[in-house]
């Protein structure tokens, strides 16, 4: 099933790189390797890659800088690999547009599950055509349509805005619980494949990114409200569009 899925493992530790490469090749993926950001850029310029497994701490250009640069011009899936103590870097990585993160020491099965899910999302975005949309594959709110197949927001002028995996999962969760105040913990429990601790700012970061894409003024938001001491409230009433 994964015979044509291509991933790029970027890590300057040979043991980690070899471990991930061997594991994913066994699972049927086509795997490319790089030990620096510069090598990764070379691979990406020559091959179509679905998902990049990217270590944050690299010699020379770091993983955060590469994430930011990639997100400007590509929708390749990005999973950051971080240390347990790298919470600040993890948050910055999400702000830069990474889709997911895993922490070392990691469970290969966990990374495999996240990668498979992300490959499917990337393929939907890059291969789907407007005529491919199935009935009920859209949900609407205010002036927006959310394309559930392609992970895109479409405004009333038919302009599309691509969402990362994290943004898509968060918006879907908020829409499914419209009119309900959801705490950070409740939101994180609904978002698949995310580790969290009580101090985790993942939700806050993703909320900020969603507000920017929705044009929701963070100083006076109307779509996603902050309920101080409680969580967040999605105010529109979504509807399915067939």
Residues 172 and 216 placed together within one structural domain of the fold: yes
Read off the pLDDT of residues 128-174 as tens digits, 9 standing for 90 and up.
544 444 444 889 999 999 988 778 899 999 998 888 878 888 999 99
* Structure confidence at residue 130 (pLDDT): 46
Q: Which residues of 82-95 are buried (b: 16+ CB within 10 A; e: fewer)?
A: beeebbebbbbbbb
At 192, is the pLDDT very low, low, confident or very high (cuts 50, 70, 90)? low
- Which one of 107, 127, 147 terminates a domain? 127
Note whether residue 1 is domain-resident.
no
Tell me: pLDDT of 111 over 50. yes
Mean pLDDT (whole number) for 49-74: 90
If one compares 204 and 29, the residue with the highest pLDDT of the two is 29
Residues 157 and 72 placed together within one structural domain of the fold: no
Mean pLDDT (whole number) for 69-83: 85
If one compares 57 and 191, the residue with the highest pLDDT of the two is 57
Tell me: pLDDT of 73 over 50. yes
Mean pLDDT (whole number) for 172-181: 94
* DSSP state string for 42-76: HHHHHS--SEEEEES--SSS-HHHHHHHHHHH---
* Structure confidence at residue 131 (pLDDT): 43
Residues 87 and 162 placed together within one structural domain of the fold: no
* Domain assignment of residue 182, given as a range: 131-241
Residues 99 and 157 placed together within one structural domain of the fold: no
Tell me: pLDDT of 178 over 90. yes
DSSP SS3 for 145: strand
If one compares 29 and 169, the residue with the highest pLDDT of the two is 29
Residues 147 and 108 placed together within one structural domain of the fold: no
Residues 92 and 172 placed together within one structural domain of the fold: no
Residues 15 and 89 placed together within one structural domain of the fold: yes
């Amino acid at each position: 099933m994964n015979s044509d899925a291509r991933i790029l493992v970027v890590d300057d530790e040979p043991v980690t790189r070899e471990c991930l490469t061997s594991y994913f090749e066994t699972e049927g993926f086509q795997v490319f390797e790089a030990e620096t950001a510069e090598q990764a850029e070379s691979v990406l310029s020559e091959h179509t890659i679905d998902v990049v497994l990217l270590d944050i701490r690299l010699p020379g250009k770091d993983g955060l800088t590469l994430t930011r640069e990639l997100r400007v011009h590509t929708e390749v899936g990005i999973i950051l690999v971080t240390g347990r103590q790298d919470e600040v870097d993890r948050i910055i990585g999400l702000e830069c547009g990474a889709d997911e993160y895993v922490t070392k020491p990691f469970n290969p099965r966990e990374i495999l599950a996240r990668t498979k899910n992300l490959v499917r999302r990337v393929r939907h975005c890059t291969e789907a055509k407007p005529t491919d949309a199935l009935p009920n594959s859209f949900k609407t709110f205010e002036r927006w349509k959310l394309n559930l197949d392609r992970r895109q927001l479409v405004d009333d002028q038919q302009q599309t805005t691509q969402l990362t995996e994290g943004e898509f999962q968060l918006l879907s969760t908020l829409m499914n619980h419209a009119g309900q105040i959801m705490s950070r913990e409740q939101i994180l429990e609904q978002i698949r494949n995310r580790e969290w601790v009580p101090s985790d700012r993942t939700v806050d970061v993703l909320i900020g990114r969603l507000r920017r894409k929705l044009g929701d003024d963070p100083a006076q938001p109307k779509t996603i409200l902050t309920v101080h001491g409680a969580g967040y409230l999605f105010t529109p009433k979504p509807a399915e569009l067939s």
